[in-house]
């Protein structure tokens, strides 16, 4: 069994895989990670190896405790990946994006795939049917846009995410919801359409914390998979240990 630890900007996801099957997944604050991983080792004593992906900051003692339980692989650019990385600055490519592209290779081999990850940031990553990773784009995610409007202005309120009732906001709150949520939906649909002008056989994957919320509103055909990153990390772990 494999233990997958994904440290994001705000939360940590921990999952257990039996071969390719996701057995259990939990999402917690960083302060809760140590207790949760101990519980996982008690519940699943057959865990033999783990992979850690971190774009946030994981306390050193948590990592040491993990290493005392099993073999730990740290996700970085020096590992083997199942694709040709044509990114101009490969050492600056986020490890989470590498995992997403790896998942696309496993689930959609020999296809042109656009992976959209809607989390703290929205990332767009494209891999061709020839297995060449070309790059993509990064833009602010939903909560980051709401928070920026509040933090960087004098009078705009900080709102919870809400689907606007109309594109024309007749109150300040309605206008913010329209600008943030509909703006992101228009952005994603527009990016997909631009890619499809060049790649008519495009497969689109939408993942991340806001994937389900956004997928219901997009007009383009997509596959929504909130566990895509975890599946990619498990694949990388297996790819580097067999």
Residue by residue, DSSP assigns 199-232 as: -TT-EEEEESTTHHHHHTT--S--EE-TTHHHHH
110: alpha, beta or left, given left = phi > 0 and alpha = psi -120 to 50?
Answer: left
Exposure string over 203-221, b if 16+ CB within 10 A, otherwise e: bbbbbbbbbebbbeebebe
Note whether 178 and 168 are within 8 A (CB).
yes
pLDDT in tens, 83-122: 999 999 998 898 889 999 999 999 999 999 999 999 889 9
pLDDT in tens, 21-64: 999 999 988 888 888 888 899 999 999 999 999 876 778 888 88
Structural domains in the chain? 2-74 (3.30.420.40), 84-233 (3.30.420.40)
Residues making up the binding site for ATP: 6-13, 120
Look at residue 158 in the predicted model and tell me its pLDDT.
97
Note whether 238 and 99 are within 8 A (CB).
no
Note whether 208 and 142 are within 8 A (CB).
no
Tokens standing for residue 91: 């050492």
Return the bridge partners of 12, or none: 7, 28
Q: What gap in Å lies between CA 53 and CA 75, rounded to an integer?
A: 5
Number of neighbours of residue 136 by Cβ within 10 angstroms: 21
Q: What gap in Å lies between CA 44 and CA 115, rounded to an integer?
A: 31
Look at residue 63 in the predicted model and tell me its pLDDT.
86
Residues making up the binding site for K(+): 117
pLDDT in tens, 137-161: 999 999 999 999 999 999 999 999 9
Q: Which residues are catalytic?
A: 96
Q: What gap in Å lies between CA 144 and CA 141, rounded to an integer?
A: 5
Tokens standing for residue 234: 């498990």
Give which of 79, 38, 31 is closest to 57, Cα–Cα. Answer: 31
pLDDT in tens, 181-235: 999 999 999 999 999 999 989 999 999 989 989 988 888 878 999 899 999 999 9
Residues making up the binding site: 6-13, 87, 94-97, 117, 120, 172
Residues making up the binding site for substrate: 87, 94-97, 172
Dihedral angle sign, alpha carbons of residues 105, 108, 109, 115: negative
Look at residue 206 in the predicted model and tell me its pLDDT.
96
Q: What gap in Å lies between CA 176 and CA 174, rounded to an integer?
A: 5
């Amino acid at each position: 069994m494999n233990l997958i630890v994904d440290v994001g900007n705000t939360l940590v996801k921990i999952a257990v895989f039996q071969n390719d099957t996701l057995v259990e997944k939990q999402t917690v604050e960083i302060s809760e990670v140590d207790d949760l991983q101990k519980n996982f080792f008690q519940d699943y004593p057959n865990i033999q190896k783990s992979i850690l992906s971190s774009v946030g900051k994981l306390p050193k003692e948590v990592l040491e405790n993990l290493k005392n339980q099993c073999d730990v692989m740290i996700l970085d650019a020096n590992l083997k990946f199942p694709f040709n990385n044509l990114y101009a600055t490969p050492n600056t490519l986020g490890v989470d994006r590498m995992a997403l592209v790896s998942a696309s290779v496993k689930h959609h081999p020999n296809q042109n795939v656009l992976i959209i990850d809607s989390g703290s940031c929205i990332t767009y990553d494209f891999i061709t049917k020839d297995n060449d990773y070309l790059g993509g784009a990064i833009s602010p995610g939903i909560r980051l846009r709401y928070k920026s409007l509040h933090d960087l202005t004098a009078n705009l309120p900080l709102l919870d995410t809400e689907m606007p009732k109309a594109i024309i906001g007749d109150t300040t709150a309605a206008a913010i919801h329209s600008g943030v949520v509909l703006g992101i939906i228009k952005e994603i649909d527009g990016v997909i359409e631009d890619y499809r002008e060049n790649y008519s056989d495009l497969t689109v994957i939408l993942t991340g914390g806001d994937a389900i919320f956004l997928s219901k509103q997009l007009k383009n055909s997509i596959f929504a998979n909130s566990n895509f990153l975890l599946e990619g990390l498990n694949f990388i772990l297996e790819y580097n240990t067999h």
